[in-house]
Every structure is written in structure tokens, then in C-alpha cells.
Amino acid sequence: MDQEPKRVATAITGFTMLLLTIALVVFSEHGYHATVDALKLFFAVVFPSLLPFFILSDVLLATGMVHYVGVYLEPLMRPLFNVPGVGSFVFSMGLAAGYPMDAVLTAKFRRQGLCTKVEGERLLAFSNSADPLFIFGAVAVGLFGQPALGAVLALAHYTSVLMVGITFRFYGRRQDPPPQEDRSGFKSLPTRAMEAMMRGRKEDGRPYGQVVNEAISDSMGTLFMIMSFMVLFAVGLRVLSRSGLIVALALPFQAVFRFVGLSANLVPAAVQGFFEIDLGAAAAAHAQAPLLQQLIVVSAIIAWSGLSVHGQVASVLADTDISMKPYFLARFLHAVYAGVMTLVFFEPVETVLGSTFTLPAMASRDFVSPTPMVPTMMNAFHVAVVLMALSIMLLTLAVVMVASWRHLRFAAGFQRWR
């Protein structure tokens, strides 16, 4: 009985790939142009945006700095999201660099034993977010031509991220290990943080030259894996569109859109966004539909992130025991939450900013063309560095707040003991 589903899945996958290969041969010209467009997007935006974060995250992990920050933020992350304090590093880096940065770091944490299987699945559920550069630059400015819309999309996206995290804090509670006895005694928080940092550095043990060298090589390998998935899904989606097979995939979306009252003109965008986030967002922005409905669909697509990103995450997690099932559920919840929160934030943001949102003037641009819509390589790198600096500042502020709270609680406990 167990082998039968595997046989069916294998047969479906095999015949699907065969049909796509035949379609690619028939529509070879369209496949070629889709490949070129995907490569342009990768080298113009994805490569310069992610490479610095991939390298620096490896170095920070090897130096023990992640362990240091984790001790400070454990009192914040554990009650709120039921994940260890080091999860704050994954969350902040995912926020600054976007997907699949969170999956890369979660996989590394799991391999090093910094989180359990369930904690890794919880962490992956809410740390998978789009970076502000994509929301404000590529979508709000590039697609809609209205920077103020970025505030609506960002508020909806990051609020729904926190909602997913709080929802998933209850996931797998029965599998949580029993709480460990606090043996730190009266050690101060900075002392325990420094001990954790030194312990993390000792466990790694590699010379710094080797750390940097392996960080660069591992980062390049991960980035080219991401590039391969981008090309694969861009070509597959283009071939499906040209062959007409994508019409059959639109039927479930038509039923859902009719039920919730969204324009049928947004169905093609939802189908494309189901596979690839960039193409789906562009199609939604250019569809003939009310602006609010466009934003709801775009917000849901960004939260879902597309099967292309899901494939990247699955590839990164392949050598760990972290399951993809909670990840899929989290992305679905994120899409639903984001769509609802877009509806909630639209009018208040419009009122606060004192501007009237209008439909985008352009309706025929191709998102995967790197100019003038997407940022240049240097702009992407500069924004990535700024975002990382902001993330570090926010982490520092959180550390100070938690340390102050722990100090006051310790002082009160000491007075009672006396």
C-alpha cells in the first residue's frame, strides 16, 4: 500500500516532465527568451543582493556571534514564537535579504544542533519573507509607479509574517523537549552570552581563512542553485503559457476568485504567481481590475512566494530532517493573512499619507527585463548593506531592552532573597 502512492507520484512526475520537454522543443524560441530574461534578473538583482548576506552569515556563525545574540534574545523569541534565541538572526537576515536566506540559515542551524526539527519548522514558517527592496523598489515603484503603495504592501506582509509566527508557535508542542534546568546560577546575561560565543567558536574550530574560503564557495554554490530554479520555472511557465496548458490550471483559481469576489481578470496573475513570484506580481499589476484587488492579489503572491522559491527551499533543506509540509501550510496561511491585511491597511495608509492611489499607467512591461524597473547591481548591493545595518541596529536595540528587563528582574529577585 505504501508503494502505490510512490508509483503514482513517480508516474505523474515523469510524464509531466516528458510533456514539458516536448513543449520546450516545440516552443524552443520562447524557452530561450525566458532563460535569457531569468538570467538577467538573477545577475541584476538576486546575485548582488544575496551574496554579501550568504558570506557574512557563514562568518558570523563560525565566530560564535550568532550564539552570543541568541542568549540575549532567547527571552523574546521563546515566549513569542517558541523558537531559540538564535532564531532572531534567521528572522533579521531573512527580512534584510529575502528568501531563501531563511532556509539556508535554518538548515545550517539544524545541522549544527542549534534548533530541534520542530523548532526549525517553526522558524522556517515565519522567517520566510520578501525583502523591503523587492516590495518598495521592484513592486511599488517598478510595477505600480507609486512608492506610497510600498507602505501598504510592507505593512500587510510583515504583519502577516508575525501572525504566522504566532500561529505556528503552537505547532508540534507535543514534540518539544522538556524544559532544561537553568544552571547559570547568578551569572549575568553578558557573561552567559560571551560563554556561548566562545563555545560556538570552539565547536567550529576552523581557521578564519578557511571559514571565509568555504563561505564564499558554499555561497556561490547556493546562488547558482537558486539561478537554476529561476531558469527552470521561468522556462516552464513560459512554455505552459504559449502551449495553452495553463488554461486548465486556471479553473480552480476562477472558482476561488468568484467566491471571494475578486475580478476574473486577476486569475492569470494568480496562476503565474503560483509558480513564480515576479511574473505573477507583474501580471497582477497590469491586469484590468480595481487597484485594491490588484494589491490584494500581489500581496498574496508575495507571501506565497511561488513554487520556484519553494523548490529552492526544498533543495536547501534536502540534507536535513526538516519537513516541507509545515512550510507549505505556512505559506498558504501567509498568503491569506497578507491578502486580508492589505484590505485592512489600504484606506488608513492612503489617509495618513494624504495621497490618492491610482491604477498604474503602464500595463505592458515585462517584469523580468532588468531596466528600468528592477534595481541595478550597485543599487541592490547598497540597499542590501543598508538593510543589514538596520537589522543589526534593531537587534542591538532588542538586546539592550531584554538585558535591561533581565537586570531589573534579577535585582528584584535578589532583594526578595535578602
Retrieve residue 29's grid coordinates. Answer: 524560441
**Lowest-pLDDT range, 192-196, 237-241, 363-367?**
363-367
The pLDDT confidence band at residue 362, using thresholds 50, 70 and 90, is very low
Place of cell 518598495: 136
Q: What is the rounded distance in angstroms from the CA atom of residue 10 to the CA atom of residue 65?
A: 44
Distance, CA of 384 to CA of 50 (rounded, Å): 8
Question: Is the pLDDT reported for residue 225 higher than 80?
Answer: yes
Provide mean pLDDT across the span 258-286. Answer: 91
Residue 26's alpha-carbon distances to 32, 241, 380, in angstroms, are 12, 13, 37
Q: Is the pLDDT of residue 184 over 70?
A: no
Give the up-direction half-sphere exposure of residue 173: CA atoms within 13 A in the CB hemisphere.
Answer: 9
Distances (CA, A) of 197 to 109, 242, 401: 15, 55, 20
The amino acid that residue 312 corresponds to is Q
Q: What does the block give as the cell for 81?
A: 514564537
Q: What is the pLDDT of residue 414?
A: 45
Which has more confidence, 396 or 109? 109
b/e per residue 277-293 (b: at least 16 CB within 10 A): bbbbbbbbbbbebebbb
* φ, ψ (nearest 5 deg) of residue 100: -100, 35
The Cα–Cα gap between 148 and 136 comes to 8
**DSSP letter (8 states) at residue 142:** I
Angle at which helices 87-97 and 65-81 cross, to 10°: 90
Domain positions in the chain are 10-171+189-417
CA distance 129 to 391: 14
What mean pLDDT value characterizes the chain? Answer: 81
Q: Are 119 and 321 spatial neighbours (Cβ–Cβ below 8 Å)? A: no
**CA dihedral (125, 128, 132, 135) positive or negative:** negative
127 vs 102: CA distance, rounded Å:
6
pLDDT single digits (tens) 15-73: 877 877 887 788 888 888 989 988 988 888 778 878 888 888 888 888 888 888 888 88
Mean pLDDT of the 143-170 span: 92
Residue 229's pLDDT is 86
Per DSSP, the residues of 176-194 read: SPPPPP---TT--HHHHHH
Percentage, residues of the chain above pLDDT 70: 81
Residue 401: band (very low, low, confident or very high) from pLDDT cuts 50, 70, 90: low
Q: Answer yes or no: is pLDDT of 365 > 50.
A: no
Q: Which of 277, 272, 267 is nearest to 239 (CA)?
A: 272
What one-letter code names the amino acid at 164?
V
pLDDT value for 186: 61
Q: 3, 325, 349: which is closest to 153 by C-alpha?
A: 349
pTM over 0.85: no
d(CA 99, CA 131): 8
Residue 260 has pLDDT above 80, yes or no: yes
DSSP string spanning 117-177?
HHHHHHHHHHH----HIIIIIIIIIIITS-TTHHHHHHHHHHHHHHHHHHHHTTTTGGGSP
Residue 164 grid cell: 504566522
Mean pLDDT over 337-349 rounds to 93
**pLDDT tens by residue, 98-118:** 888 889 989 999 998 889 999
Q: From residue 296, how far is each of 98, 259, 291, 366 by CA, in Å?
A: 20, 15, 9, 20
Predicted confidence band of residue 385 (pLDDT cuts 50, 70, 90)? very low
